[in-house]
Every structure is written in structure tokens, then in C-alpha cells.
Chains A and B, each alone.
Chain A
């Protein structure tokens, strides 16, 4: 069996890479994808602990997280389409005004 520690460390590494991408990428779609990466990292920790404790709660939470991620992706991509239509750019540095 693989020790639970390994899964938690991998989850932390993936989460850190997601945070790094979130801060340093410029493309709004890539930034959105790094959020998905962080959610995935958290899911891995949930499932690892679920197995370590022998309870299924963690796996049920993962399903809820996936549902929220799907809803978030739908709304977020709608917002991205709107930004791209109004600004003709996907660079977050060029989207720095609240008004048009």
C-alpha cells in the first residue's frame, strides 16, 4: 500500500503549482485552468484521507466539489466570453478598469 503521506505531499505540490500559475500567468483562460488544478489537488487529498480513515465522507465531498467546479466553469467561461467580446483581449493586464 502507498502511505497516505505521499498522496498529501503530491496534493500539496499540485496545489502549489496551481497557485504559482494563478499568480504568474497572464491569459485569463489559463488562470481559470489553474483554479481547476487547485480544486483537483484538494480532491486528491480528500480521497486519500477518505481511504486512510476508512470512511466514505471524503469521496462524497469530492463529488460535491466536482459539481461546484462544473457550475463555476460554466459561469466563469461565460464571463470570459463577455470580457473577450467587450475588450478584444484575454490578457488580464489589459482588463484593469471596471468601466468600459
Chain B
């Protein structure tokens, strides 16, 4: 086994363990910490794929900003251990069925398309960060400007939603 493959399997195992832990944990704060583990593992995988900028953004925005927001809200609402209501039989059976069907569909699609993507990835240097900045500010400049508008609207919306009504 080559070194990149070993690193991949270590990080993939870490990510899957974190995701399973998110499901198994009863307390939301434990789930949030598990999700941070998944995100750090994914950042490592991005580094392995040669996407340094995305890895950095993943840690700063996802692992930092978004998860801090989650943990902050969990503490603000004083969220306790998950209340255990029994899953409705009507909803539980089709739900499980749907998950299995989705997994089967995805597996079938991947198995069918392996021929075209099985080739080992290109090893050529992409000059990742320079290339990304060129694409964002040249090819994708209108979507980029629109995202700034989206963030503005989201900030306003969150402020309006969270403020206490004066009565």
C-alpha cells in the first residue's frame, strides 16, 4: 500500500466514524463535535487531492464559523439529551426502505460508471489557488457577486428572525 492510499484510508475511516458518531450520540453537542471531526478529516482529504485552498476554506468556514454557530445555538437554547420518542411504524419502515433504496441506487450508478472514471487521476500540477482565483474573478464573476448578495440577504433574514418582538 502506498503512502497516499494509507493516508486516504486513515482519513476516510475517521470521517465515517465521525458520521456514525453523529447518528449514535444522544446529546446535540456531542453530535456537533463529531461533525467537526468529519470536517477536519475531509479537509485532510482535500489536501490529499491537491486542493489546498478548498481545504483551508473548509477548516476556516465550516470547521470554524459554521460549527461555532451550531455550538453557540446549542448552548444558547440549552439543548439537552435527545428526547426518545418511538419512531412511528408508518414513517420508520418507508424511511429505512428509502435509505436502502438510495444507497442501492448510488452504488449501482457508481458501479456502472467505474469504467469511465477508474483511470488514475491526473498528476499534473493544477496551480490550484491561482487557477481558482482566476476562475472566480473572470469566468464566475457574476455568480460570485450574486453570492455576496445572498449573504447580505441571509444576514438580514437571520437578524429579523432572531430578534425579539417588541410588544
Given A1-B4, A70-B66, CB of A20 within 8 Å of CB of B54: no
Q: List 11 A-B contacts (CB under 8 A).
A: A2-B48, A3-B121, A14-B16, A14-B19, A16-B103, A21-B22, A36-B62, A53-B122, A56-B128, A70-B154, A77-B158
- Residues of chain B touching chain A, judged by Cβ–Cβ distance below 8 Å, are 4-5, 8, 12, 15-16, 19-20, 22-23, 28, 31-32, 35, 38-39, 42, 45-46, 48-51, 53-54, 57-58, 61-62, 65-66, 69-70, 73-74, 76-77, 79, 82-85, 87, 92, 95, 98-99, 102-103, 106-107, 110, 114, 117-124, 126, 128, 131-132, 135-136, 139-140, 143, 147, 150-151, 153-155, 157-162
A49 to B124, CA, bound (A): 14
Interface residues of A in 32-60 (CB under 8 A from B): 32-34, 36-37, 40, 43-44, 47-54, 56-57, 59-60
Given A51-B122, A60-B132, A78-B162, CB of A2 within 8 Å of CB of B8: yes
Q: Are B39 and A40 in contact (CB under 8 A)?
A: yes
Residue in B closest to A8 when the chains form the complex, CB atoms: B110
Interface residues of A in 4-43 (CB under 8 A from B): 4-10, 12-21, 23-27, 29-30, 32-34, 36-37, 40, 43
